[in-house]
Chain A
Amino acid sequence: MPSRSSDTRPKASWALTLAALGTLLFLHVPMWIIFLYTLTPEEATYTFPLPGFTTKWYGVALQRPDLWRSLTLSFQVAAIATVVALILGTFAAAAVYRSNFFGRESISFLLVLPIALPGIVTGIALRTAIGGLDIPFSFWTIVIGHATFCVVVVYNNVLARFRRTSATMIEASMDLGANSFQTFRHVVLPNIATALLAGGMLAFALSFDEVIVTTFTAGQQTTLPIWIFSQLSRPRDRPVTNVVATIVILITFLPIFFAQKISAEASDTEGETK
């Protein structure tokens, strides 16, 4: 139906079109610049127009072992943080949705807080806590740091889905002989699957490019965003850095794109099932 309504809607005025275009350019031009300067033969300066054209920096970037280490590390951290977030976020959403206990609203608020707080606050808080508990800063402390805000994303997605599904469905399943595990497997999971996928992808993308919390919770490890950050002090590596940035844009773009698509589809069909 969205296609029909867009046909009947009046055309946007030229001022609105211009404003929308301006906003898009404002958001996207910097990214295009980065992409553009992956192709320059000049090592250290940004000159326009480009003095030439080359794809050699892609080859150079791919041969840097420090880059590969960071990329792998970021992948691992994001993957594990996402898995942790999927499990904890689903449980939290289920608890807040299904039972009515004292302080439920406060818990809901506290769960969402980490994503609203400035990363620097979360970061310093985590560093103090981890330091105070004498836990050595390592791969796992980064995962813990990232999980704090990844849980929120999954929690929000799953809770929204729970609120839109009929509560009696779970009772119906148990009434028909399914125990809790079977009910989760056959009824709950299929109904929240797309919410989990969307939440998981978003969580992955958030973790993958996180800098601030990582800085506070990492030991000697260099995740990809931190690697890029450290490259700023090496002007001669600029095209390589740009290549990496372009790759990161692509890697984060895809999951977010699909997450949005899935959420939109789910809310399209959802209205008919109740």
Chain B
Amino acid sequence: MIKNPAIRFDNVSRHFGEIKAVHQVDLEIGDGEFFSMLGPSGSGKTTCLRMIAGFDRPSEGKIFLYDQDVSSLPPYERPVNTVFQDYALFPHMTIEDNIAYGLMIKGMPKIKRMKRVDEMLNLVRLPGFGYRKPSQLSGGQRQRVALARALINQPKVLLLDEPLGALDLKLRQQMQVELKNIQREVGITFIFVTHDQEEAITMSDRIAVFSEGKIEQVGSPSDIYERPATEFVAGFVGTSNLVSGEIAKRATGSAKTFSIRPEKIHLGFDGDTPAVGMAALDGTVREVVYLGLYTRYLVEIEGGVDLVVIEQNLKTTSMDVLSAKGQKVKLSWHPDHISHLGS
């Protein structure tokens, strides 16, 4: 239980006819958190965001915003604001009028709201852009305007619907850092929807992983990565090796399914003996992919399963690693690095 959560979902479902877009979700998001909803498309993350914003209503259950039941309030009566995926700037207004829109609707006098607009343009590092039209701005700049337009209203919670999706990689990485800094500066709760696991891990305090309308796991980025609770999370966030049945028993003494990350596996060529206390399996290298910074091996374990192993090229060259193909190896890892899956 989180003390005084910013957002609380109480058994929330959203069904569209037969389709259960969101099904019986319970969730608490803390005050001032940078919280990500991560999942593939159609997993229900965007529907959850739209229900917080008020564009959608829960079929069942309730949504609380700082202990106030907002489930049936229209969007314009909720103290939350959204940054849309396509930015949704008003093309017929200048940047200044776009950003001031919320204050204009509230009836703030023009001189006062223009002062606030200037502050916001400074916050998103676009000073002097007020008189332009959205069509004269680049994608990254429109993105910042959309952010300023939402933040100027001092919402209690800011919702971001895949806001970086349309940007190229370099700009996206830059905006990730910037968003995080802005969040620290304004200190309000950010709820960030994304399908990009790396993005979620980079920026979030906590992540909820969605699949088929349900939350698979909620936790810090390291929890999600190092201790995936389900097979889905293990597969969706990063690459993971799943080991079960007979082979699992050989490695751990129990037939329970577990997952292990490729970089946690140590690859031992003949002669090497694993350190004391390490779990181990024997296998044969089937494939080697040299990737510069690191090398990816595909190792076939006796009994049929293939494991992916990643090793940094600390001492090896491409010649060394490529010659490993076909060799017998011993895979070993620290028992703490495996994660037993719930389902």
Collect the chain B residues with CB atoms within 8 Å of residue A178's CB.
76, 101, 105
Assembly CA distance A169 to B91 (angstroms) = 9
Among A169, A171, A179, A182, the residue within 8 A (CB) of B90 is A169
Could you give, for residues 82-108 of chain B, a 1 whenever the CB lies within 8 Å of some chain A CB and a 0 otherwise?
101110111110000000011011100
Interface of B is mostly: mixed
Partner of A176, one of B54, B86, B149: B149
B135 nearest in chain A by CB position? A272
Given contacts A176-B81, A179-B76, contact A171 B88 (CB under 8 A): yes
Does B29 make an interface contact (CB < 8 A)? no
- Summed over the interface, the residue pairs from A and B with CB atoms below 8 Å come to a total of 69
Of all chain A residues, the one with the shortest Cβ separation from B134 is A273
- The one of B80, B86, B102, B134 in contact with A168, judged by C-beta atoms closer than 8 angstroms, is B86
What is the bound-complex CA distance between A274 and B76, given in angstroms? Answer: 24
Say yes or no: A177 contacts B105, CB within 8 Å.
yes
Verify A176–B105 contact, CB threshold 8 A: yes
Does A269 contact B86, Cβ atoms closer than 8 Å?
no
Find A172's partner among B88, B104, B135 (CB 8 Å cutoff). Answer: B88
Of chain A, the residue at the smallest CB distance from B159 is A175
Q: Is the CB of B153 within 8 A of A176?
A: yes
Q: Is the CB of A191 within 8 A of B76?
A: no
> Which residue of chain B is the closest to A271 with respect to CB atoms?
B135
5 closest residue pairs by CB, A with B = A273-B91, A172-B88, A168-B88, A272-B135, A176-B102
A-side interface residues toward B, CB under 8 Å? 165-166, 168-169, 171-179, 182, 186-187, 190-191, 269, 272-274
Further pairs besides A176-B149, A269-B135: 17, Cβ < 8 Å: A168-B85, A168-B88, A169-B88, A171-B75, A171-B82, A172-B88, A172-B89, A174-B54, A175-B81, A175-B82, A176-B102, A176-B150, A176-B153, A177-B76, A186-B105, A273-B91, A273-B135
Residues of B at the A interface (CB closer than 8 Å) are 53-55, 74-76, 80-82, 84-86, 88-92, 101-102, 104-106, 134-135, 149-150, 153
